[in-house]
Amino acid sequence: MIDKINSLLTEISEAKISNSGELEMFRIRFLSKKGLISDLFEEFRNIPPSDKKVLGQKLNMLKQTALEKYNFLRSNLAEAGSGSISGDLTRPAFPYFPGTRHPISIVRNEIISIFSRIGFTVSEGPEIEDDDHVFTKLNFAPEHPARDMQDTFYISRISEEDSSPDDILLRTHTSSVQVRVMQKQKPPIRTISPGRVFRNEAISARAHCIFHQVEGLYIDENVSFADLRQTLLFFAREMYGKDTRIRLRPSYFPFTEPSAEMDVNCTICGGKGCNVCKYTGWLEVLGCGMVHPAVLEACDIDSRKYTGFAFGMGIERPAMLKYQVNDLRLYFENDIRFLQQFSSAF
């Protein structure tokens, strides 16, 4: 046993470590409950009483030597490491930036919140639609230019000369959702339809072939154009501020009569004129009007009893006004420098 003790003393005194892993191996080998020194103490129980005094002293010295060597090695390792570490050790290895919603999603949710406060519910529908829901039931004539391949992305067409109810296409507006609502629900109806739409347009600072819309529909007895104007004025002042001004200009849409375009004073240039408002001081944000009786009848709603109004807006344009963004293409480029500006918005 004396030989074992002397051999371990030599091994301990010559031990060298270079990292924390080797230090832990040293502790396990010599000082753990299943280590070599513990094994010697178990063996010590079986030696003759006459030898216990000398061996006991040797064992205690061995254990003390191992502890001192362990503490010495740990101290040296800590000192070696402290010279290469600087700064706060509790900080993460690399910064974590807070996530954010896309500005389009932020404005979409805000628009939904504004109309929800005055009783509008949210309706959704498919992006891949048929001609019947996108055009026919909305009073688009068969020869209407919006049906042409230059404006609409068709997935399949039954005939190149004449449109067919079986034509499948990417919806050009979320009015198709309103048609589905009118077919399934009888008045009173008060709903908005947010979603993504597609049109074959040239991409520029003011337009894109993919964009987002929110369309609204209100049908009930005795609904008037005055109700439409007051609803839109409420929306504009909630969205852009209490001092926002609006103007309604006569326009034409197949599914409304009378129809109008609504402008708000441009917040990007303060009304002085810029490339976004075409130097007029006003920016068109939505189209609106009273629902055409032919649309009501196509959806089996009695146009002699019920009237209603509808409106539709792109989400990109209100977002441009709200955040003073002068190029619509920024919303689609996923430039992290642009998106990080909205890290505190929800």
pLDDT tens string 289-304? 999 999 999 999 999 9
pLDDT value at residue 293: 95
* pLDDT confidence tier of residue 177, bands split at 50, 70 and 90: very high
pLDDT value at residue 246: 92
The CA-based diameter of the chain, rounded to the nearest angstrom, is 120
Q: Is the pTM of this model over 0.75?
A: no
Predicted confidence (pLDDT) per residue in 58-83, tens digit = 888 888 888 888 888 888 887 766 55
- Contact criterion met (CB below 8 Å) for 131 and 164: yes
Q: What is the mean pLDDT of residues 124-129?
A: 93
Q: What is the mean pLDDT of residues 107-130?
A: 94
Task: Give the tokens for residue 62.
Answer: 């061995």
Domain ranges of the chain: 2-82, 103-342
Contacts made by residues 168-171, CB under 8 angstroms, sequence distance 24+: 168/128, 168/129, 168/130, 168/131, 169/128, 169/129, 169/130, 169/131, 169/134, 170/127, 170/128, 170/129, 170/197, 170/198, 171/125, 171/126, 171/127, 171/128, 171/129, 171/133, 171/134, 171/195, 171/197, 171/198
Whether domain 103-342 has CATH 3.30.930.10: yes
pLDDT reading at 96 higher than 70: no
pLDDT reading at 229 higher than 80: yes
Task: Give the tokens for residue 44.
Answer: 């010590």
* pLDDT confidence tier of residue 307, bands split at 50, 70 and 90: very high
DSSP for 138-193 reads GT--TT-GGGSTTT--EEE-S-SSS--TT-EEE-SSTHHHHHHHHHH-PSSEEEEE
pLDDT reading at 258 higher than 60: yes
